[in-house]
Amino acid sequence: MKRNMENELWGKTLLMLYRHLETMAKSIDNLVCRIGINSAFNHSVYNSTIKDSNKIIELTERKIKIINLKVIIQKALKKLKDKELKLIALYYVDGVSYKKVQELLNITQRTFFRRKELAIAHFSDELANLGYNAEKLKDYLKNENWIKNTYFQVVNSSANFFLKNKESKNQYKLLKLVLNDFGDNLSKSYSIF
């Protein structure tokens, strides 16, 4: 299968975010509880109750999206080969440094980075096979600024890598186009709410 850079950027983004999804879901639960408690003690205005109810519904929908995203990531991870899964799980899920992963897997630095890139490509292909290519993810996550900001950072760091290492100018130009296209719609805020 032909490699798709934008799919791989989304794949890398989701892998980077995976270990934080449960925390985000719990944060939403805590916020819903606070809104509910505050609403219960605020008997003054009918409008306030409607606003609070709408906010709770919005937050619940966001939590569902986060849970669905986690399930999608898990399904794609299950399709990886054992070597790929071990490397991805250690590095992205458990947050182990690349040097420690090299040591644990008894591989060189070059092998680590090569395997990591191939595993990301395979993971991204599996996401696409599940119906979650770059376009679908961009649309599905359009209102999740914290995820879009992470994607923006991944694209930007990849563009800088290609620029610093004088890699293919076409890859750098493609990444800059992705940045410009995505940047038009991107909030610079790192706030989740």
Take residue 65 and report the two structure tokens written for it: 């999206």
The topology under which CATH files domain 5-143 is Arc Repressor Mutant, subunit A (1.10.10)
Does the pLDDT of residue 187 top 50, yes or no? no
Average pLDDT, the chain: 83
> Residue 161: what pLDDT?
65
> Residue 155: what pLDDT?
79
> Model's pTM, two decimal places?
0.79
Residue 89 CA to its chain's centroid (Å): 15
Other CB atoms within 10 A of residue 124 CB: 28
Q: Where are the domains of the chain?
A: 5-143
Alpha carbon separation from 141 to 9, 74, 135 (Å, rounded): 14, 17, 10
> Residue 180: what pLDDT?
57
Are the C-beta atoms of 186 and 45 separated by less than 8 Å?
no
Per-residue pLDDT tens over the stretch 102-132: 999 999 999 999 999 999 999 999 999 999 9
Confidence tier at 186 by pLDDT (50, 70, 90): very low
> What is d(CA 150, CA 119) in angstroms, rounded to the nearest whole number?
19
Half-sphere exposure of 27 (CA within 13 A, CB side): 10
